[in-house]
Structure 1
Amino acid sequence: MYSTEIEVRTGSVAVVHDLTKDAEAFLRDADAEDGILHVFVPHATSGLAILETGAGSDEDLLTALDELLPRDGRWRHQHGSPGHGRDHVLPALLPPFATIPVIGGVMTLGTWQSVCLVDTNLDNPVRRVRFSLLEG
């Protein structure tokens, strides 16, 4: 197994951050052939999604999360910025992991699919992302 961790600065606004190029660079560095790429975010307030970016889907996802998990005072988890409790529910909907098959050193993503970090936590602008390659 080959594994490494990167740091991602997400800033102070909710964001869908495309990790695809980082994942591709990791696979090149790992001299990958065939296997499984596992991506993991060791945080209680962010998740991963595989979706199309750049055509509005990333903003649609953030809008849907705002509607599903409003940033208001309803949350029992009350520390941090107003509505921060919703950020702790996010990983139940967008898990902190993704697994992608790798064939010939290339992720087998669909034409419009990207691997994305979804971070709605306004209180923590720095995230870690771990890439692990399980070859087989």
Structure 2
Amino acid sequence: MRQASTIIQIETRRPGLVEFTERVTGWVAAQEMAEGLLTVFCRHTSASLVIQENAAPAVRRDMEAYFDRIAPQGPLYEHDDEGPDDMPAHLKTALTGVQLSIPLIDGALALGTWQGIYLFEHRSRPHRRSVALHLIGA
């Protein structure tokens, strides 16, 4: 049994989904393991992780619009230390989560044909997000 870990940085420019599947699959391939489990962990409370369709851009736009409707900006919240998008960002993160587990089978992540790994930025201004990758396997 072996394990490997790294931290990757993801630059965001605006709220929304940022795909980073290729960075993850490239790193996993470099570890030369055949079977195992990858944990992807976002080290923030105002950005999250999702596995979502990576073929139709309308899926991403619809998801972003939906989360804006269920956690809108405005004077609804007590917590607004960093601006009107602060508390909605925390709510969106709580609803989507900060950790993914993806099986490694025959040396490849067991993602479906149209699945991609995304950082979901919930803040309005640009950020540099840290995502930890941990692979355990053989």
Both structures adopt the same fold (TM-score exceeding 0.5): yes
Among 90, 103, 106, the alignment partner of 2:92 is 90
Question: 1:18·1:116 contact (CA, 8 Å) conserved in 2?
Answer: yes
Among 109, 114, 117, the alignment partner of 1:115 is 117
Structure 2 counterpart of 1:118, which letter? F
Alignment of 1:53 onto 2:61 = no
In 2, Cα distance between equivalents of 1:133 and 1:23:
11
* Percent of residue pairs identical: 26
Among 108, 127, 130, the alignment partner of 1:128 is 130
In 2, Cα distance between equivalents of 1:123 and 1:84:
11
Structure 2 counterpart of 1:35, which letter? G
Shift of the alpha carbon at 1:124? Answer: 5.1
Structure 2 counterpart of 1:10, which letter? T
Alignment of 1:75 onto 2:56 = no
Structure 1 counterpart of 2:26, which letter? A
In 1, Cα distance between equivalents of 2:85 and 2:19:
25
Aligned residues: 135
Structure 2 counterpart of 1:44, which letter? T
Question: 2:33·2:107 contact (CA, 8 Å) conserved in 1?
Answer: yes
Structure 1 counterpart of 2:15, which letter? A
Structure 2 counterpart of 1:83, which letter? D
In 2, Cα distance between equivalents of 1:74 and 1:124:
24
Partner SS for 2:22: helix
- Extract structure 1 runs of 4+ deviating beyond 4 A: none
Structure 2's unaligned 5+ residue stretches are none
**Residues 64-102 of structure 1: CA deviation (Å, up to 9, x unaligned):** 100110011212211112232111112211100100111
Structure 1's unaligned 5+ residue stretches are none
In 1, Cα distance between equivalents of 2:55 and 2:83:
28
Question: Which of the two has greater strand per residue?
Answer: 2
Computed over aligned residues only, the root mean square deviation of the Cα atoms, in angstroms, reads 1.3
Partner SS for 1:3: strand
TM-score where L is the length of structure 1: 0.93
In 2, Cα distance between equivalents of 1:31 and 1:83:
41
Partner SS for 1:24: helix
Question: 1:74·1:83 contact (CA, 8 Å) conserved in 2?
Answer: no
